Structure 1
């Protein structure tokens, strides 16, 4: 067996209904539902803004550091709606994805790409309306036939373990990964977080409540009590008077 140079079968994947339920869910609320776990490092960020949000099953790829050859194989193994998640070793000096590969990705109906590595051709990615998250942008290419790696095997990206079929949620805040086995439970918890804290769809209503002094998600009195209980000094005198 050629460990480190393999392509596996798809295995378990979320249902279309499970994926659809995550459409429009904020990555922050999903992360809160998992107590912060599953949220990728802030280094993995949109390569252009604004960028449309997405959700879909993880099609995982691990590549030789700085060489994106196996991403091409992953595209061939993809299905519409997949999110390609790439462990590129965090290499910033060589792009593992560029415009021509992105064209193929869009043609296959892939929902987004998340790369712990570098990309290039940002203007083309923007024109294609392809959501791409990466740790760097560089003009230097990094893909050639010497590239090795694995497709549809467990990997890591942005400090998060990712298994094929996990649900990947991306928006302006970043990327959160939901383990497939926990998808339904996390969704219920994320909806509860949204009901308590709010989401993009009720921003105007929350602003109006704040102006009216009736916003319930943030209670200044409760904050004051918590700080006082922790020993915070709430002084009335200016700081200069301390001398």
Structure 2
């Protein structure tokens, strides 16, 4: 039996708004270097940056039927996350499905599979992070699940979790942890900004991060070069 769950829980709009514009690397570091999707998940065009709750969708290999089911469950500000039940690089998604999602206010797509019509997707400003680009078409024969936990590109994602995606990749933040993670993101951004000012003023990372003593403890020796 397959199931499509409706009325999923999402983070509050206030929490979602805080993550808008956040950088994937900063979020990843702030929550203890977890939640990062695999390195092959790349945006089909740049610049691209989105943040919002996940609607999750399973698809059978070479079959995009359940994406049509998932579209109905999407609300404005959502991000659709698609995971094939077995590895598949077929072109599950193109400009027509993007048009349908965009009409519902969906911000973008994360898919561990293939997409096509990338020129049209770029022109319509619909961001997609995918495993690959491949024109192979799909059928509509096999059902799967919508709004269930999925493992997408090595990351465990539940419906309603926060997705943050930019040119550096994709990271997931657990819905119930999102507010606490944001507090850490804010602190990290403030800390990085203070360091940025010091770097601009000519200070070295060796001194800002108090590295010299540790380097010496590891055995690093400075010596004058006397070669020709």
Give the TM-score normalised by structure 1.
0.86
* Within-5 A mapping of 1:113-132: 113-132=109-128
Change (3 A) 1:100 1:213: same
- The CA distance in 1 between the partners of 2:216 and 2:108, in whole Å, is 46
Give the TM-score normalised by structure 2.
0.91
CA drift of 1:232 comes to 3.6
Q: Any conservation in 2 of the 1:69–1:96 contact (CA below 8 Å)?
A: no
SS of residue paired to 1:170 = strand
Q: Which runs of 5+ in 2 are unaligned?
A: none
Q: Any conservation in 1 of the 2:199–2:205 contact (CA below 8 Å)?
A: no
**Aligned match of 2:47:** 50
* Within-5 A mapping of 1:211-222: 211-214=200-203, 219-221=205-207, 222=210
Runs of 4+ aligned structure 1 residues displaced above 3 Å come to 232-238
Q: Any conservation in 1 of the 2:91–2:113 contact (CA below 8 Å)?
A: yes
May I ask how many residue pairs the two structures share in their alignment? 225
Q: Any conservation in 2 of the 1:57–1:166 contact (CA below 8 Å)?
A: yes
Q: Which runs of 5+ in 1 are unaligned?
A: none
What is the RMSD computed on CA atoms of the aligned residues?
2.1
CA drift of 1:34 comes to 1.3
Match of 2:32 among 32, 35, 42: 35
CA drift of 1:209 comes to 4.4
- The CA distance in 1 between the partners of 2:70 and 2:222, in whole Å, is 57
- The CA distance in 2 between the partners of 1:190 and 1:147, in whole Å, is 41
Match of 1:81 among 69, 77, 81: 77
